[in-house]
Amino acid sequence: MVAGASGRIPLHRFKFESVRTQGEKDLAVAGYRQIQSRPAPQIDLSSPDVRKPALDSVPFTSTEVSRRKSDLLIKRTTTADIDLVSTRLPEIAQRRGFGLLGTHNLKERMAAKGVEFGPECRVFEVCSPALAKEALSASLEISAALPCRISVYQEDGRTVLASIKPSLLLTMFNAPEAAALATQVEAIVVAIMDEAAAVE
């Protein structure tokens, strides 16, 4: 039930779901009108009795944000040129049983739509059909997290590879039998990223 701007619920929208007879309805209407006629409580937000969250207690310092990122992401940084990494990554993934499903060059795609975007950023979608089948057999909801994505971008003059940890991503789904599979997939993704980031 949605209240109006005054916080009151119009009588014509009030539902008497448990009312069976006209007499019960009359009593319910009378009670409803009595409640609605009462003045709405006023809250003084400046009162010391009103509890307010302490801003300094919110754990979003730069250190905390960095820690949360490290918990969520696999990241590798390299001095190798982004074009070289972008060429090597699909080849390395293929050798490790992960095919390339698609590549998204975000800078080029935005430019094609008339949007200027400075940094080079490319997203590679990789997947192992056999492992994907195992994951989907545990829960079709996992399809929302497929395929694995590895982002390659430039930051502070270096090339960065980043991917969300499969072991963490799959915890969102009620599929405990997929936990070991997620660990296996993560190990392969890490190996792909390590090899692609290696400086020869």
- The mean pLDDT value of the chain amounts to 80
Is residue 3 helix, strand or coil?
coil
**12-23, pLDDT tens digit by residue?**
554 555 555 666
Which residues contact residue 122 at a Cβ distance below 8 angstroms, ignoring those fewer than 6 apart? 82, 86, 103, 104, 105, 106, 151, 152, 153
- At 33, is the pLDDT very low, low, confident or very high (cuts 50, 70, 90)? low
176 versus 36: which is more confidently predicted? 176
β-bridge mates for residue 163, sequence order: 74
Amino acid at 142: I
Record the pTM. 0.66
Please determine, for residue 4, whether its predicted confidence score (pLDDT) is greater than 50. no
pLDDT at 31: 63
How close are the terminal C-alpha atoms of the chain, in Å?
Answer: 65
Inter-residue contact 126 to 148 (CB < 8 Å): yes
17 versus 98: which is more confidently predicted? 98
Mean pLDDT confidence for 97-123: 94
Mean pLDDT confidence for 127-131: 95
CA-atom Rg of the chain in angstroms:
28
pLDDT at 2: 43
Is residue 46 helix, strand or coil?
coil
Alpha helices in 73-165 (DSSP H): 82-95, 106-112, 129-138
Query: Given this structure, which CATH class describes domain 72-197?
Result: alpha beta
pLDDT at 64: 54
**154-172, pLDDT tens digit by residue?**
999 999 999 999 998 888 8
Which residues contact residue 164 at a Cβ distance below 8 angstroms, ignoring those fewer than 6 apart? 72, 73, 74, 149
Inter-residue contact 150 to 124 (CB < 8 Å): yes
* Spatial distance between the Cα atoms of 74 and 86, rounded to a whole number of angstroms: 17
